[in-house]
Structure 1
Amino acid sequence: MSCTNPASEFEALVYLVERLVGRFPECSEDELFVLIADELESFDNVRVRDYVPLLVEHNVLRRLRAERAHAA
């Protein structure tokens, strides 16, 4: 497994969780898994899957930043 060149979508999502845990230590892994699953579901019907992990990461980061801003 390589974080810079994941072999599969699943592998890329595993690394996404690791990155998010590091960036948002106030969130539990379970909370992050829920956000990731929610965003991943929105891409269920996408044929080309190459960019799905990147798009999921972008959307989860946007949501987490919005929650931080709202809490402040």
Structure 2
Amino acid sequence: MDHTEEVRAVGEVIDRLVGRFPDLPRDHIAAVVEAAHLELEGNPVRDFVPVLVEHTAKQRLKQEATAAPVFTDAALGDARGHDDADAVELDPMEIERQARERESGFLFGDLGGGPS
């Protein structure tokens, strides 16, 4: 993961946590995320930094506020008229995988050879 991708991913972490912790100010959440990001500075392997930052920041923010649940498409079934929907929280690794999946394809340099 290059620096630009890492900065973008950390920005997405802030956006997700703002939705997850609506009672906390965005500036405070951004400060917590940036502090967690700085703690990982200097580590040579950068691929998992956004996931680790999100995990650390989420743990710190949970101590401060009540989190709003994050729902998957299956959990939103109730809003679509299905009665058996249960709230399912997405794992940060799954969120990152889905983001990478959305960004793959011919327009993004994937030549169709499978996962990169």
TM-score interval, smaller chain? 0.7 to 0.9
Counterpart of 1:47 (choices 25, 33, 44) is 44
Structure 2 stretches lacking a partner, 5+ long: 67-116
Query: Counterpart of 2:63 in 1: which secondary structure?
Result: helix
Paired-residue identity, %: 35
Of structures 1 and 2, the larger Rg is shown by 2
TM-score normalized by the length of structure 2: 0.51
Matched position secondary structure for 2:64: helix
Q: CA RMSD in A?
A: 1.5
Matched positions, count: 63
Q: CA deviation at 1:66?
A: 1.8
User: Would you tell me which structure has more helix in proportion to its own residues?
Assistant: 1
Q: Moved runs in structure 1, 4+ residues, more than 4 A?
A: none
Any unmatched runs of 5+ in structure 1? 1-6
Larger relative contact order, structure 1 or 2 (CA cutoff 8 Å, min sep 6): 1
Structure 1: distance between partners of 2:30 and 2:62: 16
